[in-house]
Amino acid sequence: MISYILRRMLQLVFVLWAGATLLFFLLFTLPNSPGELIAGGANRSANPVVVKNVNHKLGFDRPIYVQYGKFMARTVRGDLGESYRTHEKVNDILKERAPLSLRIAFWAIVIEILVGVSSGVLSARRRNSFADTATTLVAVVASAIPVFVLAYLMKQVTGVYAYQHNWPGWMRFPALGFGPNEWYLWIIPSWEQLRYLAQPVIVLASVSTAILARITRTSMLESLRLDHVRTARAKGLSEKKVIRRHVLRNAMIPVVTIIGIDFGTAAGAAILTEFSFNLPGVGSKIVTAASQRDLPIVLGLSIFVMAVYGVASLLVDISYAFLDPRIRLGGEDG
Amino acid sequence: MVDERDQSGRNIVNGPDEGPMRALRGDPAGYGELSAQQSAALALSELEATALDASLEDVGPSRSLGTDAWRRFRRNKLAIAGLVIVGMLVALGLIGPFLVQNPSFQTQAVRESPTNQHWFGTDQLGQDEFARVVYGVRLSLYIGFMVTLVETVIGVLVGALSGWFRGWTDTILMRLVDVLLGIPYLVLALALVTAIGRGVTAVVVTLAVTAWLQTARTVRAGFLTVRDLEYVDAARTTGVPTYRIIWRHVLPNVFQPVVVLVAVGIGSAILAEAALSFLGVGPVPPTASLGLMIAGSRDYFTEAPHLLLFPGLAIVALVLGFLLVGDGLRDALDVKDA
Q: What is the 3-state secondary structure (H, E, C) of chain A?
A: CHHHHHHHHHHHHHHHHHHHHHHHHHHHHCCCCHHHHHHHCCCCCCCHHHHHHHHHHHCCCCCHHHHHHHHHHHHHCCCCCECCCCCCEHHHHHHHHHHHHHHHHHHHHHHHHHHHHHHHHHHHHCCCCHHHHHHHHHHHHHCCCCHHHHHHHHHHHHHHHHHHCCCCHHHCCCCCCCCCCCEECCCEECHHHHHHHHHHHHHHHHHHHHHHHHHHHHHHHHHHCCHHHHHHHHCCCCHHHHHHHHHHHHHHHHHHHHHHHHHHHHHHHCHHHHHHCCCCCHHHHHHHHHHCCCHHHHHHHHHHHHHHHHHHHHHHHHHHHHHCCCCCCCCCCC
Nearest to A152 among B179, B195, B308 (CB): B308
Classify B68-337 by CATH class.
mainly alpha
CB spacing of B190 vs A290 below 8 angstroms: yes
Closest CA to A145 of B146, B325, B282, B24: B24
B57 touches chain A (CB under 8 A): no
* Strand A188-189 relative to strand A183-184, pairing: antiparallel
B172 touches chain A (CB under 8 A): no
Does residue B10 register a pLDDT over 80?
A: no
- Residue of chain A nearest B189, judged by CA positions: A290
Reported confidence tier of residue B315, pLDDT bands at 50, 70, 90 = very high
Q: Please state, for a pLDDT cut of 90, what percent of chain B lies above it.
A: 26
CB spacing of A302 vs B319 below 8 angstroms: no
Q: How far is CA B115 from CA B122, B290, B325, in A?
A: 9, 21, 34
3 state SS of B11 = strand
Name the packing angle between helices A295-323 and A90-111 (round to 10°): 40
Nearest to A269 among B24, B176, B187 (CB): B187
The domains located in chain A, with CATH, are: 31-79 (no CATH), 92-323 (1.10.3720.10)
Closest CA to B166 of B276, B40, B80, B277: B40
- Residue of chain A nearest B311, judged by CA positions: A149
Distance in angstroms (rounded) separating the CA atoms of residues B192 and B194 = 5
Cα R_g (chain B), whole angstroms = 22
Does residue B162 register a pLDDT over 80?
A: yes
Nearest to A149 among B190, B281, B308 (CB): B308
* Cα B149 to the center of its chain, rounded Å: 10
CA distance A184 to chain B (A): 30
Q: In the predicted model, what is the mean pLDDT of chain A?
A: 84
CB spacing of A309 vs B312 below 8 angstroms: no
* Cα A240 to the center of its chain, rounded Å: 34
A1-19 average pLDDT score: 88
pLDDT digits (tens, 9 = 90+) for B29-78: 333 344 444 444 444 444 444 554 555 555 556 667 778 888 888 888 88
Distance in angstroms (rounded) separating the CA atoms of residues A166 and A187 = 31
3 state SS of B114 = coil
Nearest to B187 among A16, A145, A286 (CB): A286
CB spacing of B184 vs A264 below 8 angstroms: yes
Q: What angle do CA A124, A126, A130 make, to 5 degrees?
A: 110
CB spacing of B2 vs A275 below 8 angstroms: no
Find out whether B197 and B283 touch, Cβ atoms under 8 Å.
no
CB spacing of A306 vs B294 below 8 angstroms: no
- Residue of chain A nearest B301, judged by CA positions: A156
Domain-wise residue ranges, chain B: 3-58, 68-337
Full-model pTM: 0.82
Work out whether the CA dihedral B26, B17, B87, B329 comes out positive or negative.
positive
Q: Check residue A172 and give its pLDDT.
A: 77
State the burial class of residue A180 (Cβ atoms within 10 Å of its Cβ: 0-12, 13-18, 19+): exposed
B308 touches chain A (CB under 8 A): yes
Nearest to A23 among B29, B191, B278 (CB): B191
Q: Please state, for a pLDDT cut of 70, what percent of chain B lies above it.
A: 80
- Residue of chain A nearest B317, judged by CA positions: A144
3 state SS of B264 = helix
Q: Check residue B23 and give its pLDDT.
A: 37
Mutation for A interface: B179, B293, B319, B327, most A CBs within 10 A: B179
> Which A residues in the span 200-259 are in contact with B, Cβ-Cβ below 8 Å?
211, 214-215, 217-218, 221-222, 225, 254, 257-258
Q: How many residue contacts between A and B have a Cβ separation below 8 Å? A: 177
CA distance B117 to chain A (A): 26
pLDDT digits (tens, 9 = 90+) for A212-257: 988 898 899 888 888 888 888 898 888 888 888 888 888 888 898 8
CA distance B199 to chain A (A): 12
- Residue of chain A nearest B324, judged by CA positions: A140
Does residue B7 register a pLDDT over 70?
A: no
A128-150 average pLDDT score: 86
Verify cis geometry, omega within 30 degrees of 0, for the bond prior to B286: yes
* Cα B257 to the center of its chain, rounded Å: 12
> Which A residues in the span 120-159 are in contact with B, Cβ-Cβ below 8 Å?
128, 133, 136-137, 139-141, 143-149, 152-153, 155-156
CB spacing of B308 vs A302 below 8 angstroms: no
Find out whether A297 and A250 touch, Cβ atoms under 8 Å.
no
Nearest to B190 among A265, A287, A309 (CB): A287
State the burial class of residue A259 (Cβ atoms within 10 Å of its Cβ: 0-12, 13-18, 19+): buried
Does residue B12 register a pLDDT over 80?
A: no
Q: Please state, for a pLDDT cut of 90, what percent of chain A lies above it.
A: 17
CA distance A187 to chain B (A): 24
Q: How many helices (H) and strands (E) does chain B have?
A: 14, 0
State which amino acid sits at residue A182: E
From B17-26, B47-56, B213-222, B288-297, the region with the lowest mean pLDDT: B17-26
> Which A residues in the span 57-76 are in contact with B, Cβ-Cβ below 8 Å?
none
Distance in angstroms (rounded) separating the CA atoms of residues A181 and A242 = 45
Within 8 A of B319 by CB-CB distance, chain A residues are 143-144
CB spacing of A295 vs B178 below 8 angstroms: no
Mutation for A interface: B12, B21, B173, B319, most A CBs within 10 A: B21
Q: Check residue B337 and give its pLDDT.
A: 56
Does residue B176 register a pLDDT over 70?
A: yes
Q: In the predicted model, what is the mean pLDDT of chain B?
A: 79
B299 touches chain A (CB under 8 A): no
Half-sphere exposure (Cβ direction) of B166: Cα atoms closer than 13 Å = 9
Q: How many CB atoms lie within 10 A of CB A73?
A: 10
A115-125 average pLDDT score: 89
Mutation for A interface: B5, B194, B290, most A CBs within 10 A: B194
Does residue B314 register a pLDDT over 90?
A: yes
A264-290 average pLDDT score: 87
Closest CA to B193 of A271, A147, A47: A271
Mutation for B interface: A8, A32, A148, most B CBs within 10 A: A148
Q: Check residue B104 and give its pLDDT.
A: 74
From A89-98, A165-174, B70-79, B258-267, the region with the lowest mean pLDDT: A165-174
Buried b (16+ CB within 10 A) or exposed e, A191-223: eebebbbbbbbbbbbbbbbbbbbbbbbbbbbbb
Distance in angstroms (rounded) separating the CA atoms of residues B70 and A186 = 56
pLDDT digits (tens, 9 = 90+) for B102-159: 777 777 777 777 777 777 777 777 787 788 899 999 999 999 999 999 999 999 999 9
Q: How far is CA B245 from CA B166, B223, B242, B266, in A?
A: 16, 11, 5, 30
B216-243 average pLDDT score: 89
Closest CA to B273 of B297, B299, B298, B292: B292
Does residue A30 register a pLDDT over 70?
A: no
State the burial class of residue B76 (Cβ atoms within 10 Å of its Cβ: 0-12, 13-18, 19+): buried
CB spacing of B14 vs A149 below 8 angstroms: no
Does residue B87 register a pLDDT over 70?
A: yes
ipTM: 0.85
Q: Check residue A45 and give its pLDDT.
A: 67
Q: How far is CA A295 from CA A33, A96, A176, A304, B182, in A?
A: 12, 19, 29, 14, 20
Residue predicted with more confidence, A192 or B319: B319
CB spacing of A271 vs B279 below 8 angstroms: yes
Residue predicted with more confidence, A160 or B150: B150
Q: Please state, for a pLDDT cut of 70, what percent of chain A lies above it.
A: 92
Cα R_g (chain A), whole angstroms = 24
Q: Check residue B3 and give its pLDDT.
A: 39
Does residue A334 register a pLDDT over 80?
A: no
Residue predicted with more confidence, B214 or B49: B214
